A and B are shown apart, each in its own frame.
Chain A
Amino acid sequence: MGVSVLKSFAFIIGVFFSVVNLLACGWSDDWNYDKDESYDFFDPSIIGIEKNSPLLYLSTDFLHPTSYNGRIYYYDETKKQLNIKEWERYFHNKATAKEIETMLYDDYDSLSPIDYYKTHLNTRIANPQFEAYLLYLTKQIPYVTRDTYARGIIDPNGYKQIMAEGESLFQNTKEPVLKLRYLYLLMRFYHYNQDYSNVIKLYRANLYWTDKQISIVNEWNKALYAGALAHTGEEIEANRLFASCIDHKTNAYLALYDFSIKNDEQWNKLLSSAGSNDEKAEYYFLRAFQGHNSLLHEHRQIRSFAPESIWFERLGYVILQDLQADYYREKSGETQSKSYVEKKRFFLQTLKGLKKPAFFDRYAEQYLNVIENKPIDLNVIRMLDAQANPEQRKFVALLKYLNHVNTLKVAELEKLYQELFSLKSKFTVSMQDSLVKYTALRVAEFYPKKSIGFELLKTYTITYDSYSAEGLQTFWFGPKRSMLEQNILDQNNKIELNQKYQIIATRYIRERKYDKAIEYLRKIPKDQQIVSDYNPFNASLSGNNRSGTSTAMTQLRYAEIMKELYDKVNKNPQSVQEHLLIANGLYNQSMFGNFPSSSYVYYLTWNRSEFQKDLEIIKKEYLLTASLTTDQELKAKIAYELLKVSSMLLKLQAENEDVSHSETMAKMYKQYKSEFQHTRIGLQNIKGCATFQLFL
């Protein structure tokens, strides 16, 4: 055997042991299930905001990218859809929404907007003014992007040209739809090129007629104007305008992100400019989202002068989400800070100071009780029932349901499932998932630990290799499951019938119940059988017993041969050849061998103690075989397999300690040498196996 082969062998062994160590680290018999308690029980319809609006949605915190991206995506999409609708109206429905979308938004379409128009729409629409608009829009793009690399180097003369052309098109266009859009293009052009005074001038000069247009373009123009004011030191007016953006359909998020106060003077001036307490409350509301400002303090401020305003309620809604995120973060140990209790106390004190608590104020307190597994106050629930508007009633039902889950008794399980399935349909998909999860985690506690039902309900998945074949068989084909289990299975654990057979058979092979395995494997079509590329009855020098020559043996054929071999040794217990083949088969169906997929569903879910058990069984079989023969060559062959198995057992037993170079290991290899170096096979192994070179 050449040096390179030795190196390869050492490498394979090395990699294998690294993998073993790596996998062993990730598993212990006392592995605890992670209790992922991130629930979404928030639906803005409780405070009168559109059901799917992400404006006040918090994913852990307001500044979290998920919250931010969710908002931007939602408004970008709304903007696109409303824009397409406006163009549809403009074209008097001569272009479909799909065509408009492809023309203006499809980056993957090989045609530019103008080329698409000429190719697909011109004959139907025949609007030279629109064509001119598209042409100008395309020309302007490089001048209105922050992506400096994408736009390339801009010709400074081009700037003047674009500006002049835009001004001319705007002035000469009489048709109001296009005129308004030219105004937007020009304002945007000036804005990107930091010519804010022209943005302001254009907006103010045209307000008299743009105000009369019903178009989403007005929302964009107003935002550009507000931005220009902010850049030119007119912060108060800019903030007033940004605040008003909160009612916009296409860019309401600007109110949250671009409203900006830098000092007390600006703040006081803004408050003085407010025409009502409600307007003032909105400013406090918006200030709460700036940087790391305090939602709780701003909420309390609003209480002092406008407790009945929508802004007090809306801020309370955001605070409740924030508190929930803190509660579960702290509970899971994800954060070292312990701010939940202090924040909650502050929030509840604010609510307690209300003379006339509104529905949401009462709801919030009870909601916190529920997530903390504290009983709800039934008097308050009665008040909530009385106060709730039709949209809010389902939230009272939600509180009652979660409270029921918290205080659940086994006898009430089926009743609870009925409640769950009638309640679910009233909420969004995300809330439905949370309802099922909340229920499942609680119900799991009624199942024996390590049972399939427990695992399924706790983690929504089943680690097949942790369960007996019979357990899985009963689980899939046994008595009817509870509605909840079935629901979770339907949602998360869809599995084909043949796959179930295969999993059960695999577990039977691991349990060495080959006849049962055969029964299930015979139900699976041949082309879906698992196949070994190597002869699983071969035992060779290499660690995994791959001889290098390929063979194809299905899992079924393997099980059949193993069954035949066991039948033979039952009849003739002294048969050396059959015992040797059984030992090799067991070796190869283990994680150590070349056909582990015959007895493990997933390689990654095996664990140290199971692997140890496998190795002990293999060792026993090899020892038995060795005791039946006097042939020294065969003994050398078997002893070498035993050496590999024993080395691995030593490593597994040592857990984190590296025993590769230990004295015990050296002793084992030296002993093999002294016992078998006189044999042909022994000598071949000693020379061919790199590990021997370490010790001898």
Chain B
Amino acid sequence: MKKYLFIGLMGLSVTVGFLLLKFLSAPLPYTFYYWKQKVVFLPDQSVLYVKCQDVGYDGKLTILSSEFDIPAGTKIVPVFYIENRVLIETKPEILVENLLETFEKQRQRYRFTYDEIQFDCDWSASTRDAYFELLRNVKRKTALKISATIRLHQISDARNMGVPPVDRGVLMYYNMSDFSDVHTQNYILDTEVAKTYLKHSSSYPLAVDIALPLYSQVTIIRFGEVVGLIEGVHSTELNTQFDRIGQNRYKICKSGYFKGKMLYEGDIVRIDEVTEKALKQAIQDIKSSSLHGISKIIFFRYENKEEYSQDTIERVIQSF
């Protein structure tokens, strides 16, 4: 009897151990941000983070609600984008009231489901208190799980920027350089720049998930200043209109249209690409940092998913 019991226990231990190992080595879950004004997708992924409200201030509070064409009952994480100026111009309680009321109308109309809401705001030291008050108010009124996006500078300067009073953060690991600076190497993902921020993340108390970029663009420089960008461009698409003059820089040799935008002879373009290598490097850097509680990767954004193969995405995730 004891012998059988022993064998049984051994078997159970092996099974549990195997399952535990499998669980521990399982790649991190991942999902996407959906950032269009009109939301049309098939829920082929786990829950998507969807921009629902674009809250701005133009003399008065303006809330732009996304329109949905999705099956009723689709589960999402609604994201509220809040322009910094709103926090200066509007009282937190009025903002909360307007926001939740508009959101409720939207929810009733499109009948999606959710158990978490996320706030996206590039708050500053001067708007910090108003923003945090907004977050606390929403938490009080909804009792939902609340998450907030966090920029790299907000983590590295947490003493001044504060830590948002939310259940989880999402570190936006992209757009880390100065867009208007013509000397920027790669506006979207520059792991060297990111590392300088990560150095100061050691005492960040909030558990964060990671948002990684999944898009590329061309930045147009004319007369020594950044004048615009063209989204969704990869270096393989650059034609004879472009003369390479540096690692990721090209000079326009003939005026004409490229992907709907006019480029002029003499313009300099910088291609800000996000490669698999850079994404893997970003993951290594994040792993080596003291950020904690990472439970998923969210790629920005769903609309650009097709530009990257499923294998690439899987390999990036597996490198975590």
Contacts and interface: CB of A to CB of B under 8 A. Distances in A.
Contacts of B180: 335-337
A296 B222 CA distance: 11
B171 to A, nearest CB: 27
Contacts of A294: 222, 227, 262, 264
A148 B67 contact: yes
Contacts of A264: 256-257
B158 interface: no
B105 interface: yes
A135 to B, nearest CB: 29
A263 B260 contact: yes
A248 interface: no
B181 A293 contact: no
B4 interface: no
Given A148-B67, A297-B255, A339 B260 contact: no
B224 A342 contact: yes
Contact of A297 (B105, B226, B228, B264): B264
A494 interface: no
Contacts of B222: 294, 339
Given A262-B257, A293-B262, A336-B181, A65 B227 contact: no
Given A149-B105, A291-B261, A294-B264, A339 B67 contact: no
A342 B105 CA distance: 52
A292 interface: yes
Contacts of B260: 262-263
Given A337-B180, A339-B223, A291 B228 contact: yes
A343 B223 contact: yes
A490 to B, nearest CB: 30
Contacts of A475: none
Nearest to B266: A297
A23 to B, nearest CB: 16
Contact of B262 (A148, A287, A339): A287
Contacts of B220: 292
B89 interface: no
Contacts of B65: 149
B182 interface: yes
B225 interface: yes
B224 A292 contact: no
Interface string B219-254: 010111111100000000000000000000000000
A264 B262 CA distance: 9
Contact of B225 (A148, A263, A293, A339): A339
Nearest to B226: A337
Contact of A65 (B58, B67, B264): B58
B224 A263 contact: no
Most chain A C-beta atoms within 10 Å of own C-beta, residue among B67, B223, B256: B223
A261 interface: yes
A136 interface: no
A78 to B, nearest CB: 22
A680 to B, nearest CB: 43
Given A292-B228, A343-B223, A267 B181 contact: no
Contact of A267 (B58, B227, B257, B264): B257
Contacts of A393: none
Q: Is the interface of A mostly helix, strand, loop or mixed?
A: loop
A336 B225 CA distance: 9
Nearest to B220: A292
A574 to B, nearest CB: 54
Number of chain A interface residues as a range: 20 to 34
A409 interface: no
Contacts of A267: 257
Nearest to A287: B262
A261 B261 CA distance: 9
Interface residues of B, number: 24
A291 B224 contact: no
Interface string A127-170: 00000000000000000000011000000000000000000000
A302 B178 CA distance: 35
A43 B29 CA distance: 61
Nearest to B178: A336
Nearest to B105: A149
A337 B255 contact: no
B163 to A, nearest CB: 22
A342 B223 contact: yes
A339 B182 CA distance: 11
B241 to A, nearest CB: 10
A292 B227 contact: yes
Interface in A231-264: 261-264
Given A262-B257, A263-B257, A297-B255, A337 B182 contact: yes
B83 to A, nearest CB: 13
B294 to A, nearest CB: 35
A290 interface: yes
Q: Most chain-A Cβ atoms within 10 A of its Cβ — which of B58, B102, B225, B262?
A: B262
Nearest to A262: B260
A291 B261 CA distance: 8
A290 B182 CA distance: 22
A346 interface: yes
Interface in A304-336: 335-336
A339 B222 CA distance: 8
B53 to A, nearest CB: 12
Given A263-B257, A264-B256, A338 B262 contact: no
Contacts of A336: 180-181
B144 to A, nearest CB: 23
Interface in B29-86: 58, 65, 67
B257 A346 contact: no
Contacts of B228: 291-292
- Taking each of A291, A294, A343, which has the highest tally of chain B beta carbons within 10 Å of its own beta carbon? A294
Contacts of A339: 222-225
Contacts of A296: 223
A293 B220 CA distance: 11
Contacts of A287: 262
Contacts of A343: 223
Pick the most buried of B182, B225, B261: most chain A CB atoms within 10 A of its CB.
B225
Contact of B224 (A148, A149, A290, A337): A337
Interface string A279-297: 0000000010011111011
A290 B262 contact: yes
Contacts of A149: 65, 102, 105
Given A294-B262, A335-B225, 15 more contacts: A148-B67, A262-B257, A263-B257, A292-B228, A294-B222, A294-B227, A297-B264, A297-B265, A335-B180, A336-B181, A337-B225, A338-B225, A339-B222, A342-B223, A342-B224
21 contacts: A261-B262, A263-B257, A264-B257, A267-B257, A291-B228, A292-B227, A292-B228, A292-B261, A293-B262, A294-B222, A294-B227, A296-B223, A335-B225, A336-B180, A337-B182, A337-B224, A338-B225, A339-B222, A339-B224, A342-B223, A342-B224
The 4 A-B pairs at the shortest CB distance, nearest first, are namely A292-B228, A337-B225, A339-B225, A339-B223
